[in-house]
Chains A and B, each alone.
Chain A
Amino acid sequence: SAVISQKPSRDICQRGTSLTIQCQVDSQVTMMFWYRQQPGQSLTLIATANQGSEATYESGFVIDKFPISRPNLTFSTLTVSNMSPEDSSIYLCSATPQETQYFGPGTRLLVL
Chain B
Amino acid sequence: EDQVTQSPEALRLQEGESSSLNCSYTVSGLRGLFWYRQDPGKGPEFLFTLYSAGEEKEKERLKATLTKKESFLHITAPKPEDSATYLCAVRYGGATNKLIFGTGTLLAVQP
Contact = CB atoms under 8 A, between A and B. Distances in A.
A43 B44 contact: yes
Given A92-B43, A102-B46, A48 B98 contact: yes
A102 B43 CA distance: 9
Interface residues of A, number: 22
Interface residues of B, number: 20
Nearest to B48: A100
A53 interface: no
Interface in A62-112: 92, 94, 96, 99-106, 108
Contact of B44 (A44, A99, A103): A103
Contacts of A106: 41-43
A103 B43 contact: yes
